[in-house]
Amino acid sequence: QVELVESGGGSVQAGGSLRLSCSGSRINLNTLDVGWYRQAPGKQREWVGNITDAGTTDYAASVKGRFTVSRDAARNVVYLQMSRAKPDDTAVYYCHTRFKANYWGRGTQVTVSP
C-alpha cells in the first residue's frame, strides 16, 4: 500500500526555521512531482511549493525566498525547509504526489508564535 508520511513539524518562534520531511513507502518519489500544501484553521488547503521529477522547484508567492523544497534520492524523501517563519505560516502541512492516483500524507502541524 502506497503511503506518504510527513514529519518534522512542531513549534517555532517567528524568524525561526523548521525542516519538514515527506517519506514515501511503496512509491518512488524520485520519479514523480511532489508538492507541499498547507491548511490553516478555517481556511482552504493551499499550495506551498513543489519539486518536479527533474528537480525543478516552484513556490507560492507567500513563501518564495523563505521556503525551499528539495529531495534526498537515496532516502526517497522530499523536504520542505522553512526559514524566516511567520505566524501566518501556522498550519497543517501535507505532501502530495500522483501516480495513477492522488496520494496525500496525514499532515504535520507547524505552529509559529509571534
Residue 31 is which amino acid?
Answer: T
Strand order in the sheet with 77-82: 3-7, 18-25, 77-82, 67-72
User: How many beta carbons lie within 10 A of that of residue 69, not counting itself?
Assistant: 25
The model's pLDDT over 82-113, given as tens digits with 9 standing for 90+, comes to: 999 999 999 999 999 999 999 999 999 999 99
* Stated length of the chain: 114
The model's pLDDT over 13-71, given as tens digits with 9 standing for 90+, comes to: 999 999 999 999 999 999 999 999 999 999 999 999 999 999 999 999 999 999 999 99
Specify whether the CB–CB gap between 36 and 106 falls below 8 A: no
